[in-house]
Structure 1
Amino acid sequence: MNRLRSLAVVAASASIAFAVSAGCGGVNDSSLSNDQNGGLNGGGKPGIGGEIDDKAAPVGDDLKKCLTSTAKGTLAAVNLVTMFDQSGSMGDDGTPAGNNKRTRWDPVTAGMKAFYSDPASAGMNASLQYFPLNDGSGQPVCWDYFYSTPDVALTGLPSADLVRSIDRHGPLGGTPTDPALRGAINYAKSAARARPMEATAVLLVTDGEPNSCSSTVDGVSALAAAGFRDTPSIPTYVIGVGPQAAAGGAIDVIAKAGGTGQGIHVDTNDPAKTTQDLVAALNKVRGQIISCSFGIPAPTDGKQLDLDAVNVVYTPTGGQPKTLNYSEKCDQGLGWHYDNRSAPKKIDLCNATCNTIRNDRSGQITIAYGCKTNVKIN
């Protein structure tokens, strides 16, 4: 690795609860902060320094002799712009006897409320809007402008406001997915522009195919694709509930177009299981959009940053710190690399590292400056 700049005396560590890299489906990167309570709840400023604190920033003995200073890191917040289907079929279990008995709505909204109330969702912001909106005469609103303003604007989780919002709503009407998704993407783009260091995505929760306001699967898919391709890029995740939103159908087509692979199907035959599966689906989406990229902090003492003197250390829950290899191709197991080796702006964890950390919510990543980089030659 070529020496790019002279030695820096900064280091950063990050609590990596719920972390996933851009290669694992993440969006945007993380800021670094000297907040000793780092993690997803932060809001610290980037570019930090600080005294060595082995408890706050664990490193192995191999780095302690040359490590100069440390500071806690803060993962970027995640913004989940949710568009929730409140069409009449959400009150139907798919049988004539189930019509309008909320047999689909109640367990699905129970899962939504559990997720919005879960302390583990801290560090995520969520907004909530519903479709169809009613124009006052019983007809669905077909203009995306009205869907661009959520019932609850982006707010930090856990949130009682989101729970109360759900309690004010119930199933009625058709499925105008086209204007609804268009409005959600518009709002998400505004949020992404206002919060460029945070990960922002749309979540569409629906129980059926688009069927109102000239909505079609092809049209909605085109909207999702355009949102994903635009700048800022807005991915669209899709959770389908009930038999009309089964895997392999419209939810997969829309999710694929929106850059998120397959939709997630939740069965509605067993209400208790529906609630559990809906929470699991939301947790899966949460995990996929959080980034494992870390902005490179600016030195705090006026010295230049030596990018050949950077190491990334992973400390598993209950385990010992392990210095990871710099692995440009990420084909050597656990490792990391710069986003651009000649002009790096951030540190990216490799997919294998991310997948390991994703299942280790109490693990830690330390970005340690001052020691020669542990390089794995590919």
Structure 2
Amino acid sequence: MAVSGGCSGDDGGTAGDNSISGGNGGSGNNGGSANGGSGNDGGSSNGGNGFGGFIDSGTNGGSGGTGIDPDAGCAFDKVTGDRVPANMLFVIDRSGSMNCNPPPTQTSAQCENSPQKQDQSLNSKWEDTRIALEAALDQLQAQPNVGVGVNMFPRDNSCQVSGTPNIQVTSLDSTQLSGIKAFFGTVDPGGRTPLAGATILSYKHLLTQLQAGNLEGNKFVVLITDGFETCAPDELNKLVNTDVPNAYDLLNIRTFVIGAPGSEGARSLLSQIAKAGGTASSPTCTADPNGNADVGDCHFDLTNVSSPQDFANQLSQALEAISGTVLTCEFDVPQASGGGEVDRDKVNVIVTPDGGTAVNLQQDNADCENSANGWQYNADKTKIVLCGNACDTAKQEGSSVQIVLGCPSDIK
């Protein structure tokens, strides 16, 4: 990784070549190979191959079927569905401008000129962000198979970035949740905005964890920033065109982006990151690298807030939407109890809402993002994916998913 610009710090240092280099990497979930290595914290440098150097290039349960009885004669096995784990690394801007009040109490221009609270009686952007994050984490903690970590930038009050998160990604149990909240209480915003370096090194960390076999399931980066890259602008082209898409295509790391007030001039950049990272708000959203810097609607854009409370509400809604996406509706195709191969044409799925009636889902192979309502296999048939209302029901607290083996699949 190469992060150019005037960054410094004990961990960051200054280098003239790659900040990350070394031996052979591992392979991503989608089979992408890696050939970089491990490195420590990223400070500043004037070149190198960067990230490309280590990656080569509701209440309704859904559509009801004919009613497969899990105790029917054809059913030789029934298992509880194991939800695919979700691992989230929050990459959060703690630059000096996060000290400011949200608009309209303090405009972005006023904050840029004087990055400190104008009204001490009101929350700063960081304080509102902390409240919303803690509420979102409280909700996530109630869900099974969710891991969360935190990496804040800069590490100093200048441009230092680090490949080692402040809080490692691990299961969001009560201990992890308490640790994150305690850490948030120590954060004192300051410094510039090394967005590129922090994002790249976060991918690097997740790759290292994948190589070590520590991250099973889906991986997500959630980038929250209130500004444009101010430490290494020369890195942005590589970030958008190499690093983010490689993380998504080769390692299956999706990148969500939230732009807080102050990021008006970075709308295009942030939307490009979201689009390349597989989380565009819609297929037709705008993320034109050749257009206006302040035009882009592929990310969560919170810059047009009408009041500090509006910012807090919009941020909470964005985090809720991200959490809803991260709480996967993917389940591993189980092995038969005898250890034999499962006949993919003889699988059925039953969803039971908490206190409700079991619903036999139909296999629906339409577009899962749009019209499908039932279940389908992923591309290599290693996972069962619930779509539409079936997914919504499965995500509800107390719902259960049962996979029945042996009976012909009920296909829509």
TM-score (norm 1): 0.71
SS of alignment partner, residue 168 of structure 2: strand
Indicate the residue corresponding to 1:307 in structure 2.
344
2:328 is the alignment partner of 1:328: no
From 44, 65, 71, the counterpart of 1:64: 71
Q: How does 1:1-378 map to 2 (within 5 A)?
A: 60=67, 62-66=69-73, 67-93=75-101, 94-95=106-107, 96=110, 99-101=115-117, 103-118=124-139, 119-120=141-142, 123-134=145-156, 139-141=158-160, 146-157=161-172, 158=174, 159-193=177-211, 194-195=213-214, 197-214=216-233, 217-222=236-241, 223-229=243-249, 231-245=250-264, 248-261=267-280, 262-267=298-303, 269-301=306-338, 305-329=342-366, 333-339=372-378, 344-349=381-386, 351-353=387-389, 355-357=391-393, 360-376=396-412
> Identity of paired residues, percent?
24
Q: Is the 8 A contact 1:188 1:202 kept in 2?
A: no
Q: Distance in 2 between matches of 1:259 and 1:249?
A: 16
Does the 8 A contact of 2:394 with 2:401 survive in 1?
no
- Aligned partners of 2:215 and 2:189: how far apart in 1? 35
Alignment length (residue pairs): 310
CA contact (8 A) 1:189 1:234 kept: no
Q: Distance in 1 between matches of 2:325 and 2:271?
A: 16
Q: Report the equivalent of 1:10.
A: none
Distance 1:316 1:165 in 2: 36
Cα distance change on mapping 1:215 and 1:270 into 2, 3 Å: farther
Going from structure 1 to structure 2, the CA distance change for 1:70 and 1:202 (only over 3 Å counts) comes to: same
In 1, distance between residues paired with 2:218 and 2:133? 20
Q: CA deviation at 1:354?
A: 5.2
Contact 2:254 2:278 in 1 (8 A): yes
Which is further off, 322-331 or 236-245? 322-331
Quick one: structure 1 residues 124 and 210, their matched pair in 2 at CA, closer, same or farther if it must change by over 3 Å? same
Distance 2:202 2:79 in 1: 37
Q: For 2:127 and 2:367, how far apart are their aligned partners in 1?
A: 44
From the superposition, tell whether residues 305 and 123 of structure 1 become closer, same or farther in structure 2 (CA, over 3 Å): closer
Give the TM-score of the pair, scaled to structure 2: 0.66
CA positional deviation for 1:183: 0.7
Between the aligned partners of 1:247 and 1:170, the Cα distance in structure 2 is 23
Question: Once the 2 structures are TM-superposed, how far is the Cα of residue 196 of structure 1 from its aligned partner?
Answer: 5.4
Indicate how the Cα distance of structure 1 residues 309 and 345 shifts in structure 2: closer, same or farther if over 3 A, else same: same
State how far apart, in whole Å, the 1-side matches of 2:126 and 2:100 are.
8
Q: Secondary structure at the match of 1:64?
A: coil
TM-superposed deviation, 1:123? 3.2
- Return the letter of the residue paired with 2:132: G
- Secondary structure of 2:219's match? strand
Kindly provide the amino acid, as one letter, of the partner of residue 100 in structure 2: D
User: Structure 1, unaligned stretches of length 5 or more?
Assistant: 1-26, 30-58
The verdict on how the C-alpha distance between 1:296 and 1:252 changes in structure 2, with shifts beyond 3 A counting, is same
CA distance in 2, matches of 1:365, 1:302: 21
Alpha carbons 2:218, 2:252 under 8 Å: kept: no
DSSP 3-state at the match of 1:367: strand
User: Closer, same or farther in 2 for the Cα pair 1:323/1:189, shift >3 Å?
Assistant: same
Q: 2:351·2:390 contact (CA, 8 Å) conserved in 1?
A: no
- Report how far residue 216 of structure 1 moved: 6.0
Cα 1:299–1:62 shift into 2, 3 Å: closer
Q: Aligned equivalents of 1:313 and 1:83: distance in 2?
A: 37
Query: Conserved in 2, the CA contact under 8 Å of 1:333 and 1:353?
Result: no
**Structure 2, unaligned runs of 5 or more:** 1-27, 31-65, 118-122, 281-297
Work out the CA distance in 2 between the residues paired with 1:129 and 1:84: 6
Superposition deviation, residue 191 in structure 1? 2.7
Superposition CA RMSD, Å? 3.2
Q: Distance in 2 between matches of 1:246 and 1:362?
A: 43
What is the one-letter code of the residue matched to 1:224?
V
Instruction: Find the residue that maps to 2:134 and give its secondary structure.
Output: helix
Query: Given that residues 247 and 263 in structure 1 are in contact (C-alpha distance below 8 angstroms), is that contact kept between their aligned partners in structure 2?
Result: no
In 1, Cα distance between the equivalents of 2:339 and 2:87? 34
Q: Is the 8 A contact 1:299 1:305 kept in 2?
A: yes
Instruction: Return the alpha-carbon distance in structure 2 between the equivalents of residues 115 and 305 of structure 1.
Output: 38
Contact 2:162 2:201 (8 Å CA) reproduced: yes
Amino acid at match of 2:325: Q
Counterpart residue identity of residue 129, structure 1: N
The answer to which structure, 1 or 2, has the higher relative contact order (CA under 8 A, 6+ apart) is 1
Distance in 1 (CA, whole Å) between partners of 2:207 and 2:358 is: 39
Supply the distance in 2 between the matched residues of 1:77 and 1:344 (Cα, whole angstroms): 17
Alpha-carbon separation, structure 2, partners of 1:227 and 1:203? 13
| 1:100 maps to amino acid | Q
In structure 1, what residue type is equivalent to 2:87?
Answer: N
Amino acid at match of 2:71: K
Change (3 A) 1:236 1:147: same
